[in-house]
Structure 1
Amino acid sequence: MDKKTSGKNYQTDTQLTHVGRYPDQFHGFVNPPVVHASTVLFPDVETMATGNQSYTYGRRGTPTTEALENAITELEGAAGTRLATSGLNAVALACLSCLKTGDHFLIPDTAYGPTRHFADTVLPKMNVEVAYYDPTRATDIKGLFKENTAALFLEAPGSLTFEMQDIHALSAAAKTIDATVLMDNTWASPLYCKPIDLGVDLSIQAGTKYIVGHSDVMLGTIAASEKAWGALDTVYGAMGVHVAPDDVYLALRGLRTLSVRFERHFKNTMSVINWLKDRDEVAAIRYPALESDPGYHLWKRDFSGASGLFAFDFKAGTTKEQSNHFFNSLNLFGLGYSWGGFESLAIPVKLKGIRTTTDIDPDCLSARLHIGLEDPQDLIADLEQALESAFQ
């Protein structure tokens, strides 16, 4: 924050407005400048030899990247933050910062698909043993620990199927063996969940989604606890990661409206879900903020809000043709990956084969929806005509 607000215990909405802004350092301008830089000059060889100045090389940080890192650090309650080129890049950097040859790594069976792909293709080349666990059975986790278990990964809610995890219990268990705890917190962002306060060491965001909020930037963030910060900073520097200043600027701009966008996403989502609950074509809705959801009590305890991403299962007996017809009939919902932007999106989900340690109906066909900022009645009308067209 700027010097007038730094160190004060402000509420989140006030933080979002002021974090990462330093008007006193930039001639009074409200927003930090977009600094395009590679070379940074030194006043003399003595300073060059010691590196004793704020910035030394563009890849190692500029006022632009520092502004976003400081903003995320304050929102997360972290010791420090590093930026990545995407959410997946953030996952990879976080993992590489706490794993070495011979380590054992536990990942929830509901983890984001590209996270699994990284774990299954890259980590074995480092001779890291990867094992998947049931995300809903926190009391069983100690039974999976080995002498070489170095890290425990969390994702809440889980990708596509939205199971919640007991962050408290899992983090506490990992601490008994001094394992590093990582968590993908993209769904809630630091606005609605603060993993580091719950015992997590590395809080990961796909900033591409809600932080940016406008579907036009790829970006990731990794916020670290005191325990994890040094190793993260070392790996970040060694890997030569750098995010373009224009992308960072757009992420800072998106951050300012995160709270008001989230409120609208949640309001619209509940309107759509309350309508879907009564549809004969829908067998179940997967959304932790619903009181009927199995993970509701964990969401209520650890989260202060919910985002616009959820899924629903089509009724038993739905054919692939009917599912495809539904998606192809949508007008306002775009068919596309990612989420968190202002627009509504939909993708088909076939659960068969995506889990290895948990039971799931292999014949269940599902839809994952991201509810955007459109009028919810228009979204409902679009869903209604697509369902009726597919199931007539």
Structure 2
Amino acid sequence: MSKRGPSTEQIHHPFRAPEGWDAVPVPVMKASTVLFKNTAELHRPRRQDGISYRYGLPGTPTTYTLAARIATLEHAEHCVLTPSGLSAITLTSLAFLQPGDEVLLPDNVYGQNRHLAGGLLARLGIAHRFYDPLDASAFEAMLGERTRLVWLEAAGSITMEFPDLIGLLRACRARGVLTALDNTWGAGLAFNAFEVAPETAPGLGADLSMQALTKFPSGGADVLMGAVCTRDAALHRQLVAMHEYLGYGQGQNDVEAVLRALPSIALRYRAQDAAARDLATWMAGRPEVARVLYPALPDSPGHAFWRAVSPAASGCLFSAVFRPEFDARQVDAFVDALRCFGIGFSWAGPMSLAVPYDLSRSRSLGLPWAPEEGGTLVRFAIGLEEVEDLRADLAQALEVLGG
């Protein structure tokens, strides 16, 4: 072979890793262009399972490795990855809803899902209504001819009500309505989304389970990614088709980061769960606090439903409702006085977080407590700091609140 120029030599360099080479980390394979061995391979029909090595956007072996591992985590057969948790929600709704359909959402649904329903979906002629996730009987009466999709969320966003999953899923199953569970809180560890109560309701579960991999699967507060899982091949094909229309892709370094974090997810979940239980119980005993919203506490809304589905896990989140005599300005001062808690959205990362919320415009059916019971709410996301340090920090900040 004649001597080629340096650019040509680099582009067509013959070195390849030996066949069968293996290591603990998953190789990171980045590509936009994917090379075919010959034109016969180029013309070969696409596989129907959604795995495509024709171009880098659908995925690389690194991407599909993560998808397979998330499917295993979720007790599913199929998984598609998306650039964020919100994009996973959008993918699901657009894949299964058409103009004239209706989607039902819990009143405590993640705020961006509410925004999607009232914005883009409404512009496409898709109706939506909100339901009380604690009242399965009233929910069943809402299911109509146009209802095509029901979103479930366990536990609910910010106010942490645990829904009557068994009752809601039974109602949807009886009417043949598709169900999608936002399983970010449970992360595939708290309970099985596809069989939520195997002893009391065998075979009862959601049709689809989505997660923001940004949270527990990543664990580092440095990755945005989502996933939608299912056990149904036909539903998976619909997701893959919409995924292609939307042009969703993931950066391979982000995929690598989640793959690196997954082996420790169960350890981190248990540690953050235990710390949250300790601190939620402590906060519930404080005189400044009217109530703590945390599924494992007996007086938290939906506690009995939580016990029926997820008694061994309660996540890293809890919310404290402060007594009415403390106004929003005072509660903000409490949050500002915290030193171990960052002020920021998201959760399940190494740093604990605290965010005050005004819920006046994020509920359609009211709040699960009377106004005279409490006022401003703060959501706490417990990280990996020492529990004693977090408790001491909360105590000193509560002194600012009282002052």
Q: Quote the residue 2:212 is aligned against.
A: 206
Task: Give the Cα–Cα distance (whole angstroms) in 2 for the partners of residues 160 and 193 of structure 1.
Answer: 20
- 1:323-334 equivalent positions in 2, closer than 5 A: 323-334=331-342
- The one-letter code of the counterpart of 1:292 is D
- Seen in structure 2, the aligned counterparts of structure 1 residues 143 and 25 have a Cα distance that, compared at 3 Å, is farther
Q: Quote the residue 2:199 is aligned against.
A: none
Deviates more, 1:53-62 or 1:216-225: 53-62
Unaligned ranges ≥5, structure 2: 1-17, 197-204
Q: CA deviation at 1:80?
A: 0.6
Q: Deviations over 1:282-335 (max 9, x none)?
A: 110000012332322221221241211110100121112211110111111000
CA contact (8 A) 1:207 1:220 kept: yes
Q: Quote the residue 1:357 is aligned against.
A: 365
- Seen in structure 2, the aligned counterparts of structure 1 residues 376 and 176 have a Cα distance that, compared at 3 Å, is same
Other structure's SS at 1:176 match: helix
Task: Give the Cα–Cα distance (whole angstroms) in 2 for the partners of residues 373 and 79 of structure 1.
Answer: 32
Q: CA deviation at 1:78?
A: 1.6
Q: CA deviation at 1:28?
A: 1.9
- The one-letter code of the counterpart of 1:376 is V
1:277 maps to 2:277 = no
- Seen in structure 2, the aligned counterparts of structure 1 residues 243 and 25 have a Cα distance that, compared at 3 Å, is farther
Q: CA deviation at 1:26?
A: 5.4
What is the percentage of aligned positions where both structures have the same residue?
Answer: 35
CA contact (8 A) 2:180 2:210 kept: yes
Other structure's SS at 1:43 match: coil
1:62 maps to 2:69 = no
Q: Deviations over 1:146-195 (max 9, x none)?
A: 11110111011111111111222212211223211011111111011221
- Seen in structure 2, the aligned counterparts of structure 1 residues 46 and 312 have a Cα distance that, compared at 3 Å, is same
Runs of 4 or more consecutive aligned structure 1 residues displaced over 3 Å after TM superposition: 51-54, 358-363
Q: CA deviation at 1:42?
A: 1.2
Q: Quote the residue 1:286 is aligned against.
A: 293
- Seen in structure 2, the aligned counterparts of structure 1 residues 385 and 26 have a Cα distance that, compared at 3 Å, is farther
TM-score of the pair, normalised by structure 1: 0.90
CA contact (8 A) 1:156 1:184 kept: yes
1:194 maps to 2:192 = yes
Q: CA deviation at 1:116?
A: 0.5
- Aligned-residue Cα RMSD (Å) equals 1.7
Q: Deviations over 1:87-140 (max 9, x none)?
A: 111111011111111101100000011111111100011100111111111122
1:29 maps to 2:23 = yes
- Seen in structure 2, the aligned counterparts of structure 1 residues 391 and 25 have a Cα distance that, compared at 3 Å, is farther
Other structure's SS at 2:238 match: helix
Other structure's SS at 2:228 match: strand
CA contact (8 A) 1:81 1:222 kept: yes
Instruction: Identify the match of residue 155 of structure 2 among 145, 154, 157.
Output: 157
Task: Give the Cα–Cα distance (whole angstroms) in 1 for the partners of residues 395 and 186 of structure 2.
Answer: 28
Instruction: Identify the match of residue 380 of structure 1 among 391, 397, 401.
Output: 391
CA contact (8 A) 1:88 1:114 kept: yes
Q: Quote the residue 1:224 is aligned against.
A: 230
Instruction: Identify the match of residue 251 of structure 2 among 244, 265, 275.
Output: 244
Q: Quote the residue 1:12 is aligned against.
A: none
Unaligned ranges ≥5, structure 1: 1-23
Instruction: Identify the match of residue 177 of structure 2 among 170, 176, 179.
Output: 179
- 1:96-135 equivalent positions in 2, closer than 5 A: 96-135=94-133
Task: Give the Cα–Cα distance (whole angstroms) in 2 for the partners of residues 26 and 75 of structure 1.
Answer: 26
CA contact (8 A) 2:351 2:384 kept: yes
Q: CA deviation at 1:27?
A: 1.1
Task: Give the Cα–Cα distance (whole angstroms) in 2 for the partners of residues 105 and 197 of structure 1.
Answer: 22
CA contact (8 A) 1:135 1:165 kept: yes
Q: CA deviation at 1:51?
A: 4.3
Other structure's SS at 2:242 match: helix
- Seen in structure 2, the aligned counterparts of structure 1 residues 25 and 160 have a Cα distance that, compared at 3 Å, is farther
Size of the aligned set, in residue pairs, is 369
Task: Give the Cα–Cα distance (whole angstroms) in 2 for the partners of residues 49 and 200 of structure 1.
Answer: 38
- Seen in structure 2, the aligned counterparts of structure 1 residues 25 and 108 have a Cα distance that, compared at 3 Å, is farther
Q: Quote the residue 2:4 is aligned against.
A: none
Q: Deviations over 1:53-102 (max 9, x none)?
A: 86211112211100110001112122310011111111110111111111
Instruction: Identify the match of residue 266 of structure 1 among 262, 273, 278.
Output: 273
CA contact (8 A) 1:26 1:32 kept: no
TM-score of the pair, normalised by structure 2: 0.88
- Seen in structure 2, the aligned counterparts of structure 1 residues 139 and 52 have a Cα distance that, compared at 3 Å, is closer
Q: Deviations over 1:221-263 (max 9, x none)?
A: 1112315222111111221111111101101111110111111
CA contact (8 A) 1:180 1:228 kept: no
Other structure's SS at 1:83 match: strand
Deviates more, 1:68-77 or 1:360-369: 360-369
Task: Give the Cα–Cα distance (whole angstroms) in 1 for the partners of residues 91 and 101 of structure 2.
Answer: 16
Other structure's SS at 1:189 match: coil
